[in-house]
């Protein structure tokens, strides 16, 4: 049975993070040609605004295998304006690669990333759900995810056995109609929804506890959305195996 690992590449902007991602995917045989950010053909920079500006704005994932190990690679933005996008991946990682430019050396944002990695360095057995997020670890007052509007979705990649899992979500809400829906597009997780509303202008943290049923074990992508209504602001998610 192959070992499965999630690795993330982080760096200050223009340190060569996406170039390293391209090289890993090329050597693993996932892509046939090496793309370049300055040539606007990098494999993981898929949005037109990224190619136009020559920077990564959204975190992307790719899969590759080396010998007896399957990897999920997360390439993250390096620009400080999009650092929250990079920070959201940290709780998912088994290993992180922090890239430092040999020309520019250690930058202020490099030190920030190192500090965040220290906060998320957790070697405990998480049962395949590396989703526990400590409130206060995020730069924006402990905020994990802003309110889910319309078709917004939160993606949480996992490896888990089939079965029932307990989930506690800590949230803030300014509308009693808010709800939280969860599912897997491949049908590996039973789709369901829970009320997650309040009328205190998102001034206090509330919690909702429910069960997530994994119907088919293995790798997957758990998604949260606001369902038929606007969703809450998520501060923390904790998932553990039931029983």
- For residue 46, the model assigns a pLDDT of 66
- Residue 131 pLDDT > 50, yes or no? no
- Residue 121 pLDDT > 70, yes or no? no
pLDDT digits (tens, 9 = 90+) for 66-112: 888 888 888 887 777 777 777 777 777 888 889 998 888 888 888 88
- What's the rounded mean pLDDT across residues 211-234? 80
Nearest partner of 28 among 89, 77, 71, 60, judged by Cα: 71
pTM of this structure: 0.47
- Residue 128 pLDDT > 50, yes or no? no
Rounded Cα–Cα distance for residues 165 and 240 (Å): 6
Residue 119 pLDDT level (bands cut at 50, 70, 90): low
The domains of the chain, with CATH numbers, are: 3-119 (3.40.50.300), 154-241 (2.60.120.260)
Please, which residues bridge with residue 240 across strands? 166
Residue 213 pLDDT level (bands cut at 50, 70, 90): very high
- For residue 30, the model assigns a pLDDT of 87
- For residue 185, the model assigns a pLDDT of 87
pLDDT digits (tens, 9 = 90+) for 3-58: 888 888 888 888 888 888 888 888 888 888 877 766 677 777 667 766 676 667 77
Strand order in 3-11's β-sheet?
Answer: 60-66, 69-75, 3-11, 95-99
- What's the rounded mean pLDDT across residues 118-147? 43
Coil, helix or strand for 8? Answer: strand
pLDDT digits (tens, 9 = 90+) for 181-207: 889 888 999 999 988 888 877 778 888
Q: How many CB atoms lie within 10 A of CB 32?
A: 7
Nearest partner of 229 among 146, 145, 149, judged by Cα: 149
- For residue 126, the model assigns a pLDDT of 42
């Amino acid at each position: 049975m192959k070992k499965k690992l999630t690795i993330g590449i982080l760096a200050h902007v223009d340190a060569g993070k996406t170039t390293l991602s391209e090289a890993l995917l090329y050597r693993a045989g996932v892509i046939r040609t090496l793309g370049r950010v300055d040539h606007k053909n990098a494999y993981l920079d898929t949005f037109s605004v990224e190619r136009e500006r020559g920077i990564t704005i959204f975190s992307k994932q790719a899969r590759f295998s080396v010998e007896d190990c399957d990897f999920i690679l997360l390439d993250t933005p390096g620009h400080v304006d999009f650092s929250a996008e990079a920070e959201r991946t940290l709780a998912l990682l088994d290993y992180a690669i922090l890239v430092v430019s040999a020309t520019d050396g250690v930058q202020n944002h490099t030190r920030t990333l190192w500090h965040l990695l220290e906060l998320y360095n957790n070697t405990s057995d998480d049962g395949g759900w590396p989703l526990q997020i400590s409130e206060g670890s995020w730069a924006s007052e402990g905020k994990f995810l802003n309110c889910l509007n319309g078709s917004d979705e939160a993606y949480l990649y996992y490896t888990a056995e089939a079965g029932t899992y307990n989930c506690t979500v800590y949230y803030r809400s300014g509308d009693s109609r808010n709800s939280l829906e969860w599912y897997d597009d491949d049908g590996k997780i039973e789709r369901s929804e829970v009320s997650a509303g309040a009328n205190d202008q998102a001034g206090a943290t509330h919690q909702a506890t429910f069960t997530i049923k994994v119907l088919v074990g293995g790798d997957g992508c758990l998604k949260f959305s606001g369902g038929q209504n606007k969703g809450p602001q998520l501060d923390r998610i904790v998932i553990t195996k039931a029983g």
